[in-house]
Structure 1
Amino acid sequence: MSDVLPAAGWTRRDDLAALVAALDPDGEGLCRWVGGAVRDTLLGLSIKDIDMATTLLPDTVLARLAAAQIRALPTGIAHGTVTAVLPGGHVEITTLRRDVTTDGRHATVAFSADWREDASRRDFTINALYADPRTGAIDDYFGGRADLAARHVRFIGDARARIREDYLRILRYFRFQARFGGTPADTEAEAACADLAPGLKGLSRERVAGELIQLLAHADPAPAMLRMAELGVLAQVLPEADASALPALVAAERRDSVPPDPLRRLAAMLPADPAAVDAIAARLRLSGAQRKRLMRAAPRKTGDARALAYRLGETGAMDRLLMAGESVAGLRDWVAPRFPLKGGAIVARGISMGPLVAQLLRQIEDQWVGEGFPDEKRIAQLLDAAVAQHKP
């Protein structure tokens, strides 16, 4: 794998060149690109976020950005992070650090000027890659490029030590394994994750949920999730989950060319009990909309695709159908019609206003849906028949 960062669209951005000129005007090597942007560019993947590491202290970063009229936000100033607000997208700039103390959730850091020391506190070798913003020269202190080429996700140094610094790294390991990893997996990493998995219980539910959703969003998270279950990791964060449901769902999504959806995949692993699902979603601190969607999927009942979409909405119908391995082809380019009948039409036929009107509306609507949404002529026939049953 190359010793120089390949040319990519983001490396040619004028606003990034201006950022580098503001922080390191004399080319002293005071800043480097780091992490995901370097890793994904080496793999030829699209870039989502750009991070920069620097030997400059946060106050100096803020001062130099201000002098260059680049807007800056002190987003994580206590840990050395400043966010530069650029036309092409935000860039997080973090001063080199070393951990002083950590409790597995939060770390106390001290600033450093040692690039290798900063790299040593990162999680995986493939994330500890730095690139000079002017020359593209890559600094790889722990064999990250070789691991990328081998599709090997490996902790830096001692896996247990890295996990004890932040137990969320257990879930991050499986997330990165789902995206970048091959087989066989790193035996030291898996053993450490299995042994230290109880530490996950001390993390905030929001952090856990965030990692699970990111993992489930990958093209095929089933092997990683099944391995989490085998190693006893999944039971620590989601004891109710059944990962064996994932392979069939992923296959159904691919068959029908449906994009991966992490919430649908989460729903497939949860019990077929809306009340139980609601409790799980609340425990994970999911949003109200996410909770409703999971509860809607829980009963697993399907039926006619369009009737299901009319009742549950397109997303709700697709969730249930795909989870059951059924086709969603009938929903393509289909827009659910609106039921045109109003209560006034029933009253006009001699039925007094009251509960009976609502009952008849529901009855006729159910028949209309069951017959595949026929035209207004048929609705009139259904209306006449329903009213006739209740007239003296």
Structure 2
Amino acid sequence: MVERLPAAEWTHREDLSALVDALDPQAQGHCRWVGGVVRDTILGIAAKDIDMATTLLPDEVVARLGGAGIKTVPTGIAHGTVTAVVSGGPVEITTLRRDVSTDGRHATVAFSTDWADDAARRDFTINALYADPRTLEVYDYHTGLGDLATRHLRFIGDARARIREDYLRILRYFRFQARFGSVPADAEAESAVAELAPGLKGLSRERVGWELIALLGLPDPAPTVTRMAELGVLAQVLPEVTTSGLEALAALTAHERNLGVKGTALRRLAALLPADPAMAEQVAPRLRLSIAQRKRLAAAAARDGHCNNPRALAYRIGIAEALDRLLLAGASIKALQDWDIPALPLKGGQIVARGISAGPEVARLLRAVEARWISEGFPDEARVMQMLDEELG
């Protein structure tokens, strides 16, 4: 029986049809959808990124798309990848490849015209699925459809060989396990990742950081992260995490679910780490977090477990940061829902108009009134003016 992709919104897109017609006008089988878009569509999950594999060499891809008026960007042309810019979003088109040599971080590849070659160099069976862009027939070279049906996450071929080709596959294994995997997990895969985990230390910080953040942003990463710790993998990339951190992550994700709050990767990372801003400052650059991410992680790390005045906290550090603190403490967030941080209805000029010379005294009065305004729950301008009168008196 021929397996076909179920109908999905993206399979009817005119811009993708035009792309296929440009690359394979005679329907000779030069291109197929591949990887996540095929896997997710089979599972009924909305596709995010759309990737295509092709027997055509990169120069030919560029020429054919250019002839059809479709813009291309040579995003990874040395490795066979060209990005087509179409109205519905970019599509990565990669020439079929076979590995020539690998060092655990980078692979030397040769182009191929054999679909089985290309499938053999992919990581997991559920990611080595291809689909004809016109008929939607699915091509499965490594029993990926069966594994997908049973949520069995399995490396293609020998797990250790796949990992030695690129040690990042250890982290990818856990990310996909958290998304699609069954319990118990594949025994061979777990044995391989545990044995080869030290290889993670040779990877770039950007790649490790991206995978960890992606994992922590999933709906329920806690069981998977705990398993990473049990297998000795987590210690290779986040040695600061202790048993209490794992417990804190589990408690946080449960609290988020109970409140119907969407979890965030940075909040979960903060749960894993001790409540120590100095440690957050050490971990953030190691994971190559952005400046904004570093500040938010540090704000969460400064938590002390006391959240008696959520709105005052939010006024001081920001809504998102206050929500992090409240959720990490297992507290209610009701006070911050549908609430915007107000602005103090008092300016320095209004104090000067009362006869106070501009300078330190104006600043002192502003701070004093602001402190009272916060403690009284942000009353209106009339009350603020009363406070000012009282301070002046």
Q: TM-score scaled by structure 1? A: 0.95
**Given the superposition, is the C-alpha separation of residues 17 and 353 from structure 1 closer, same or farther in structure 2, using an over 3 Å criterion?**
closer
| 1:311 partnered with 2:316 | yes
Contact kept, 8 Å, 1:167 with 1:200, in 2: the verdict is yes
Residues 240-267 of structure 1, C-alpha deviations (whole Å, 9 max, x = no match) = 1323211111122222222121111112
Contact kept, 8 Å, 1:30 with 1:54, in 2: the verdict is yes
Q: In structure 2, what is the equivalent of residue 333 of structure 1?
A: 338
| 1:374 partnered with 2:371 | no
Q: In structure 2, what is the equivalent of residue 57 of structure 1?
A: 57
Residues 193-239 of structure 1, C-alpha deviations (whole Å, 9 max, x = no match) = 11111111111111111001111111111111111111111111111
CA distance in 1, matches of 2:287, 2:41: 33
CA distance in 2, matches of 1:262, 1:57: 38
User: How do 1:158-173 and structure 2 match up within 5 A?
Assistant: 158-173=158-173
**Aligned residues, how many?**
388
Deviant stretches of 4+, over 6 Å = none
User: How do 1:55-204 and structure 2 match up within 5 A?
Assistant: 55-204=55-204
Q: In structure 2, what is the equivalent of residue 343 of structure 1?
A: 348
Q: Aligned to 1:38, what secondary structure does the other structure show? A: helix
Look up the equivalent residue of 1:186 and give its one-letter code.
D
Cα displacement (A) at 1:380: 2.8
Cα displacement (A) at 1:351: 4.5
CA distance in 2, matches of 1:195, 1:2: 39
Contact kept, 8 Å, 2:104 with 2:167, in 1: the verdict is yes
Gapped regions of structure 2 (runs ≥ 5): none
Residues 51-79 of structure 1, C-alpha deviations (whole Å, 9 max, x = no match) = 11111111111111122221111111111
Contact kept, 8 Å, 1:346 with 1:387, in 2: the verdict is no
Contact kept, 8 Å, 2:119 with 2:128, in 1: the verdict is yes
Q: In structure 1, what is the equivalent of residue 11 of structure 2?
A: 11
Contact kept, 8 Å, 2:74 with 2:83, in 1: the verdict is yes
Q: In structure 1, what is the equivalent of residue 272 of structure 2?
A: 269
Structure 1 range deviating more: 168-177 or 82-91: 82-91
Q: In structure 1, what is the equivalent of residue 392 of structure 2?
A: 387
Cα displacement (A) at 1:378: 2.6
CA distance in 1, matches of 2:71, 2:357: 67
Q: In structure 2, what is the equivalent of residue 249 of structure 1?
A: 252
Look up the equivalent residue of 1:233 and give its one-letter code.
V
**Given the superposition, is the C-alpha separation of residues 2 and 237 from structure 1 closer, same or farther in structure 2, using an over 3 Å criterion?**
farther
Q: In structure 1, what is the equivalent of residue 221 of structure 2?
A: 221
CA distance in 2, matches of 1:205, 1:186: 27
CA distance in 1, matches of 2:2, 2:266: 37
| 1:231 partnered with 2:231 | yes
Cα displacement (A) at 1:376: 2.6
Contact kept, 8 Å, 2:345 with 2:380, in 1: the verdict is no
User: How do 1:22-61 and structure 2 match up within 5 A?
Assistant: 22-61=22-61
Look up the equivalent residue of 1:376 and give its one-letter code.
E
| 1:281 partnered with 2:284 | yes
Q: Aligned to 2:89, what secondary structure does the other structure show? A: coil
Cα displacement (A) at 1:39: 0.2
CA distance in 2, matches of 1:61, 1:89: 18
Residues 97-148 of structure 1, C-alpha deviations (whole Å, 9 max, x = no match) = 0111111111110011111111010000000001111111111111111111
CA distance in 1, matches of 2:346, 2:25: 71
Cα displacement (A) at 1:352: 4.4
Gapped regions of structure 1 (runs ≥ 5): none
Q: Percent identity?
A: 69
**Given the superposition, is the C-alpha separation of residues 351 and 67 from structure 1 closer, same or farther in structure 2, using an over 3 Å criterion?**
closer
Contact kept, 8 Å, 1:256 with 1:329, in 2: the verdict is no
Contact kept, 8 Å, 2:266 with 2:297, in 1: the verdict is yes
Contact kept, 8 Å, 1:351 with 1:387, in 2: the verdict is no
Structure 1 range deviating more: 5-14 or 350-359: 350-359
Q: Aligned to 2:263, what secondary structure does the other structure show? A: coil
CA distance in 1, matches of 2:27, 2:353: 84
Look up the equivalent residue of 1:187 and give its one-letter code.
A
Contact kept, 8 Å, 2:2 with 2:137, in 1: the verdict is no
